[in-house]
Amino acid sequence: MDLRDSFRNATRAIFAAKMRSFLTMLGIIIGIAAVVMLMAVGNGTKQSILSRMQSSGSGNLYLTAGARSNVLMGGGGFGGGNRGGASAGAKITAEDLTYVEARVTYPIVVSPTNQTNITIKNGDTTMSGTGIFATPTYFEVENVTIANGRMISTSDIDNRTRNVVIGATVQTTLFPNESAVGQPIRINGASYKVVGVATAKGESMGSSVDTAIVLPFSVGEKSFGVVHNVIQRTTIKCVDPTQSLAVTTEITDILTRKHKKVDFSIQDVAAMTALVTSSMTILTTLLAAIGGLSLLVGGIGIMNIMLVSVTERTREIGIRKALGARERDILVQFLIESSLLSIAGGILGIAISVLGSDFIVSRFTTTSVTGSSILLAVGFSIAVGVFFGVYPARTAARMKPVDALRYE
Amino acid sequence: MNLIEFSDIRKVYTIGSITIDALAGVSFEIGEHEFVAIMGPSGSGKSTLMHILGCLDTPTSGAYRLEGRDVSQLRSNDLASIRNRDIGFVFQSYNLLPQLSALENVLLPCTYSTHAISGRDERARAHELMERVGLKDRMYNRPVEMSGGEQQRVAIARALMMNPPVILADEPTGNLNSKGAREILNIMKELHTDGKTIIYVTHDDTIGAQAERVIRIQDGRVVADERN
């Protein structure tokens, strides 16, 4: 019997009992939809966490004062520098950075920053934001680009000029109708001049440049009470991101020698990324396994219906055998039928999960339906159809023709 | 050479501790082109005999030669191929597949054939056979849309599809009115004239009287074997 005949027979049998076929497929539809959607939630969450981590630049290291036991402890992020397990009196100074830069053998870019909460005012409009005291390297290291105007320059630092770069949200909030570049702005009551506007970037590592104002590093100590010669957080960019581990080790050695103890910590975004990736992969696998359970139940449903179908069609099996059908022919006939049921269920399940995750689940959380999860779902539904179809099909194939023909 | 040789065929059923000899040593030969009626009351073993003749069942012991080949202990695949090529079945209850059209039912044996025949040739032959049994206009009807006599004629066309030497008919007129029965019997006679060997299982003496030879079965044994 050729395969085309077999497929025609199978579809005929499936359509002959539409309601039953649909209910049988429903188990697979729900199972596949559950697998694909749960994986979409897992993958989506992973991707959104990773993209937030990576928008600050891969290969970045964060140097802060105070030893930490774990890379993920303390949460990182701006302003987190003195939180957590910072040991008393531990600090990173400008000399430390000069010392490190002079000795590191890998190419790096160092961006020291301090940060404080500020009130920003233009005319009658006021907003609160973050003041970031930084050097020109800040823009390169944190991937901050300028939409309008210019960056903080070296001469701004040297001369303690009151020139600032404002974030995109600050521009739209305080200067809704005009470009802020060249305009005066009041920060904590004092007057500054806007020289540039940063491109909107969204949140990164727990903070956003959009609601911040970048001021020359040297201005902080004079006007905002930032402790003299203490750097809250230093971002170190490895020019070659693959060297981040080696750079971490080297800087740790250099600073430990200088401080005679480990009273600082270096967070490696790449290492954190790897950790998040692996834990999110475990989560996604777990979610897929939960979905897989419902697929298993769906598979048992297929087996159950196929067994009923075999019993109901005993006489048909007898007739086919009387006309010369071999065991293999009957086996293939029922296997194709169960596989078609589960493949059709799988395809419907994928359609439902794609629609569902795009239009419903995505309102609550980030989702991402990946090609691999669809392939997995299709493969799994074929496997379910074959696996749970084998037993009923073999039951049918092994019937003795005389018994099958006599069946009423 | 005889087409069919039964020598001391026995079929024993065991139900619990009871053994039933459905066939208690049956021997006969059927030559080519014979028209044989196998007759006997119900419970005589003629159904069992027919199943073994049709390779739908295997005997407990004894030798069954079909075209000189012992088929009594063949494996299921070989038996399937014999049923496909050497024997055409006509059953009392027609046994058409209800989901298929008449033409598709006639074509069904081809799907299990190991000999490659082109689809066009198969269809041409199926059309020819439907015409021969007088159902040229009913090719695309489903069995439920046909009378019993028409369904049985479709079954005969199906039995002829693979051009087997033997037609094995099990009470083919049992469910039909006298007109339908007459038509079926006439087709059987024509097939006999055309050279088929007809084995016709019945308990109806008027039909038996029209066969060339009657083998009577009772209690699992041949009690009479006479030519008309």
- Domain for residue A294, yes or no? yes
Which residues in chain A have their CB less than 8 angstroms from residue B83's CB? Answer: 321-324, 401
- Domain for residue A396, yes or no? yes
Q: Are A148 and A21 members of one domain?
A: no
Report the pLDDT value the prediction gives residue A250, as an integer from 0 to 100.
92
CA distance A317 to chain B (A): 10
Report the pLDDT value the prediction gives residue A166, as an integer from 0 to 100.
93
| Closest residue, chain B, to A407 (C-alpha) | B95
Spacing of C-alpha A157 from chain mean position: 38
pLDDT means per 10 residues, chain B with 228 residues, are: 91 90 94 94 89 94 93 91 95 93 94 79 93 94 94 96 94 90 93 95 88 94 91
- Domain for residue A80, yes or no? no
Report the pLDDT value the prediction gives residue B77, as an integer from 0 to 100.
92
Q: Which of A16, A319, A329 sits opposite B95 (nearest CB)?
A: A319
- Domain for residue A61, yes or no? no
- Cβ separation A322–B54 shorter than 8 A: yes
- Structural domains counted in chain A: 2
Q: How would residue A76 be classed by pLDDT, with cut points 50, 70 and 90?
A: very low
Q: Are A42 and A128 members of one domain?
A: no
Phi, psi of A180 (to 5 degrees): -80, -15
Q: Are A291 and A374 members of one domain?
A: yes
Domain boundary at A262, A294, A324, which?
A: A262
CA distance A344 to chain B (A): 22
Placement of tokens 């018994």 in the chain:
A403
| Closest residue, chain B, to A399 (C-alpha) | B76
Domain annotation for chain B: domains and CATH numbers: 34-55+80-227 (3.40.50.300)
CA distance B136 to chain A (A): 23
Q: How would residue A86 be classed by pLDDT, with cut points 50, 70 and 90?
A: very low
- Domain for residue A81, yes or no? no
Report the pLDDT value the prediction gives residue A106, as an integer from 0 to 100.
92
DSSP output for B22-76: EEEEEEEEE-TT-EEEEE--TTSSHHHHHHHHTTSS--SEEEEEETTEE-TT--H
In sequence order, the 6+-apart residues with CB closer than 8 A to the CB of B74 are: B55, B58, B82
Q: What is the mean pLDDT of residues A27-31?
A: 90
Q: What is the pLDDT of residues A133-173, one digit of tens each?
A: 999 999 988 888 899 899 999 999 888 899 999 999 999 99
Which residues in chain B have their CB less than 8 angstroms from residue A2's CB? Answer: 111
- Cβ separation A326–B113 shorter than 8 A: no
- Cβ separation A319–B56 shorter than 8 A: no
Q: What is the pLDDT of residues A274-329, one digit of tens each?
A: 888 888 889 888 888 888 888 888 888 889 999 999 999 999 999 999 999 999 99
Cα separation, B22 vs A406, in Å, equals: 16
**SS3 of B155-214:** HHHHHHCCCCCEEEEECCCCCCCHHHHHHHHHHHHHHHHCCCEEEEEECCHHHHCCCCEE
Q: Are A246 and A304 members of one domain?
A: no
Q: Are A284 and A246 members of one domain?
A: no
The answer to ipTM > 0.85 is yes
Token couple for A259: 């401080």
Q: Provide the mean pLDDT of chain A.
A: 85
Q: Are A18 and A160 members of one domain?
A: no
Q: Are A98 and A240 members of one domain?
A: yes
- Domain for residue A64, yes or no? no
pTM of the model: 0.71
Q: Does A325 touch chain B (CB under 8 A)?
A: yes
Q: How would residue A55 be classed by pLDDT, with cut points 50, 70 and 90?
A: low
Q: Does A1 touch chain B (CB under 8 A)?
A: yes
Placement of tokens 């696996």 in the chain:
A387
Q: What is the pLDDT of residues A169-185, one digit of tens each?
A: 999 999 988 888 999 99
Domain boundary at A262, A295, A319, which?
A: A262
* CA nearest neighbour of A82 among A232, A268, A255, A235: A232
Domain residue limits at A332: 3-51+277-406
A positions 388-407 inside 8 Å of B (CB): 400-402, 405
- Cβ separation B99–A321 shorter than 8 A: no
- Cβ separation B97–A319 shorter than 8 A: yes
Q: Does B57 touch chain A (CB under 8 A)?
A: yes
| Closest residue, chain B, to A3 (C-alpha) | B111
The answer to whether the beta carbons of residues B213 and B200 sit under 8 Å apart is: no
Q: Which of A1, A322, A327 sits opposite B111 (nearest CB)?
A: A1
Phi, psi of A236 (to 5 degrees): -115, 120
Mutate which: A12, A316, A323, vs B, most B CBs within 10 A: A323
Cα separation, A30 vs A26, in Å, equals: 6
Report the pLDDT value the prediction gives residue A1, as an integer from 0 to 100.
57
- Cβ separation A326–B56 shorter than 8 A: no
- Cβ separation A320–B108 shorter than 8 A: yes
- Cβ separation B84–A405 shorter than 8 A: no
- Cβ separation B111–A2 shorter than 8 A: yes
B175-202 b/e (C-beta count within 10 Å ≥ 16 → b): bbeeebbebbbebbeebbeeebbbbbbb
Helix (H, G, I), strand (E, B) or coil at A297: helix
CA distance B91 to chain A (A): 10
List Cα–Cα distances, B135 to A125, A314, A353, B140, B151, in angstroms: 94, 28, 51, 10, 10
- Domain for residue A192, yes or no? yes
HSE-CB of B201 using CA atoms within 13 angstroms: 24
Q: Are A242 and A381 members of one domain?
A: no
A49 versus A388: the higher-pLDDT residue is A388
- Cβ separation B112–A327 shorter than 8 A: no
Q: How would residue A200 be classed by pLDDT, with cut points 50, 70 and 90?
A: confident
CA distance A333 to chain B (A): 12
Report the pLDDT value the prediction gives residue B193, as an integer from 0 to 100.
95
Phi-psi bin for B160: left (phi > 0), alpha (psi -120 to 50), beta? alpha
Placement of tokens 């997995």 in the chain:
A376
Mutate which: B57, B79, B97, B110, vs A, most A CBs within 10 A: B97
Which helix (DSSP H) or strand (DSSP E) does residue A268 occupy? Answer: strand A264-268
Q: How would residue A408 be classed by pLDDT, with cut points 50, 70 and 90?
A: confident
Q: What is the pLDDT of residues A123-141, one digit of tens each?
A: 888 999 999 999 999 998 8
B positions 83-122 inside 8 Å of A (CB): 83-85, 89, 91, 95-97, 99, 108-109, 111-113
A89-103 b/e (C-beta count within 10 Å ≥ 16 → b): ebbbeeebbeebeee
Q: Are A40 and A99 members of one domain?
A: no
The answer to whether the beta carbons of residues A85 and A122 sit under 8 Å apart is: no
The answer to whether the beta carbons of residues A291 and A35 sit under 8 Å apart is: yes
- Domain for residue A63, yes or no? no
Q: Are A181 and A119 members of one domain?
A: yes
| Closest residue, chain B, to A397 (C-alpha) | B76
CA distance B31 to chain A (A): 23
Q: Are A248 and A289 members of one domain?
A: no
- Cβ separation A402–B76 shorter than 8 A: no
Q: Are A254 and A296 members of one domain?
A: no
* CA nearest neighbour of B48 among B211, B214, B209, B219: B219
Flag whether pLDDT at A207 surpasses 80: no
Task: Sort B106 into a burial class: Cβ within 10 Å, 0-12 / 13-18 / 19+.
Answer: buried
